[in-house]
């Protein structure tokens, strides 16, 4: 399994327009950037999420064909580049008409509740793309098998203030396994299927005293990097872990 992280910049890319903080200025000076969150599996041309920057990301990576797209959730930094299916899969009509015609179809995969939330907001666009033949939307029931890859969704109801659902994908090839969980993974689920993986690609979470204070005062709870690691490694149950935190005098929102 060969994969490329096309972008890992979250909902604010780096450098950010109009921002002259130390990090953004350093990025401009050194000529690097972090774009919206997305991953590509080369084995079968599989794309995960389409941030607004997806055209640039695909061009930078030299990727010319996307046969499948899997969505994690509806948030704009994961979906607003969906028009890539129209740009990739159309060509000028041989009859020299002004409009373009379909030359390929990309299959769009979403778990049921995620599909409902995406279609509630972007349904008209996906309906149009299906009508002209550049996309085909399919609901993931349990898992999807593409060639030798098995892709299995784990859907959670997040603590984000938008009350959204988000997807963690388990991608298996033989005995090898990758976990892709780029965003909104609070509360992080304890699932035996995650164990034994070769690679976990996770939302970083926050760290440091300043971000801890912001997390406590913010509109919704964000998980910390330490909590992500603890949640994955610690064999205690959620209740036992929270009791242990109380005994240690730690404050904050319980993990689960």
pLDDT tens, position by position, 91-136: 877 666 657 789 999 999 999 999 999 999 999 999 999 999 999 9
Within a domain: residue 253? yes
**Residues with Cβ < 8 Å from 86, sequence gap 6 or more?**
129, 132, 134
Q: Which DSSP category does 224 fall into?
A: B
Q: Is residue 112 part of a domain?
A: yes
Distance CA 183, CA 168 (A): 9
What is residue 87's predicted lDDT score, i.e. its pLDDT?
Answer: 92
Instruction: Identify whether residues 50 and 158 lie together within a single domain.
Output: yes
pLDDT of residue 191: 84
Query: Is beta strand 46-48 parallel, antiparallel or unpaired with respect to 100-102?
Result: unpaired
Asked if residue 15 belongs to a domain, the reply is yes
Report the distance separating Cα 253 and Cα 164, nearest Å: 19
Same domain, 40 and 98: yes
Looking at the structure, tell me whether residues 87 and 130 fall in a common domain.
Answer: yes
Residues 45 and 89 in one domain: yes
The pLDDT, as a whole number, for residue 229 is 73
Residue with more model confidence, 148 or 246: 148
Q: Are 140 and 228 contained in the same domain?
A: no
- Among 64-78, 107-121, 136-150, 181-195, which is the least confidently predicted range? 181-195
Q: Provide the percentage of residues in the chain whose pLDDT is more than 90.
A: 61
**In a shared domain, residues 136 and 214:** no
Same domain flag for 43 and 165: yes
The answer as to whether 236 is a domain residue is yes
CATH of residue 77: 3.60.15.10
Structure tokens at 71: 């969505």
Claim to verify: residue 106 and residue 217 sit in the same structural domain: no
Q: DSSP string of 108-131?
A: EEEEHHHHHHHHHHHHHHHHHHHH
Angle at alpha carbon of residue 155, lines to 110 and 34, rounded to 5°: 75
Residue 121's domain comprises 3-184+196-203
The last residue of one of the domains, among 175, 203, 231, is 203
pTM above 0.75, yes or no: yes
Report if residue 255 sits inside a domain: yes
Domain shared by 169 and 247, yes or no: no
pLDDT, tens digit, for every residue of 138-181? 999 999 999 999 999 999 998 777 778 999 999 999 999 999 99
Residue 15 sits in the same domain as residue 105: yes
Position 241 pLDDT exceeds 50 = no
Q: Is residue 233 part of a domain?
A: yes
- In this predicted structure, what is the pLDDT of residue 227? 76
Q: Chain-centre distance of CA 134, in angstroms? A: 22
* pLDDT attached to residue 236: 41
Confidence of residue 13 (pLDDT cuts 50, 70, 90): confident
Mean of all residue pLDDT scores within the chain: 86
Has residue 222 been placed in a domain? Answer: yes
228 and 120 fall within a common domain = no
176 plus 99 within the same structural domain: yes
- Point out the domain boundary residue: 203, 230, 246: 203
Burial status of residue 62 (CB atoms within 10 A of its CB: 0-12, 13-18, 19 or more): exposed
Domain total of the chain: 2
Check whether 254 has a pLDDT greater than 50.
no
- Residue 168 domain-assigned? yes
């Amino acid at each position: 399994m060969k994969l490329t992280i096309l972008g890992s910049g979250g909902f604010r890319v780096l450098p950010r327009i109009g921002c002259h903080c130390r990090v953004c200025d350093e990025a401009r000076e050194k000529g690097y950037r972090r774009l919206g969150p997305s991953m590509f599996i080369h084995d079968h041309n599989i794309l995960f999420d389409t941030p607004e920057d997806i055209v640039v990301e695909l061009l930078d990576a030299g990727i010319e064909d996307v046969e499948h797209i899997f969505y994690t959730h509806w948030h704009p930094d994961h979906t607003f580049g969906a028009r890539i299916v129209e740009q990739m899969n159309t060509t000028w009509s041989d009859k020299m008409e002004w409009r373009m015609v379909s030359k390929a179809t990309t299959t769009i995969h979403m778990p049921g509740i995620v599909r409902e939330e995406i279609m509630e907001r972007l349904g008209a666009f996906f309906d149009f793309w299906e009508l002209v033949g550049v996309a085909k939307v399919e609901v993931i029931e349990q898992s999807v098998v593409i060639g030798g890859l098995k892709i299995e969704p784990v859907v959670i109801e997040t603590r984000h203030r938008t009350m959204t659902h988000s997807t963690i994908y388990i991608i298996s090839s033989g005995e090898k396994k990758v976990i892709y969980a780029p965003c909104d993974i609070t509360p992080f689920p304890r699932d035996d299927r995650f164990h034994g993986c070769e690679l976990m690609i996770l939302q970083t979470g926050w760290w440091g005293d300043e971000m801890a204070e912001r997390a406590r005062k913010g509109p919704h709870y964000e998980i910390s990097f330490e909590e992500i690691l603890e949640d994955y490694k610690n064999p205690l149950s959620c209740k036992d872990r929270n009791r242990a935190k109380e005994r240690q005098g730690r404050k904050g929102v319980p993990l689960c």
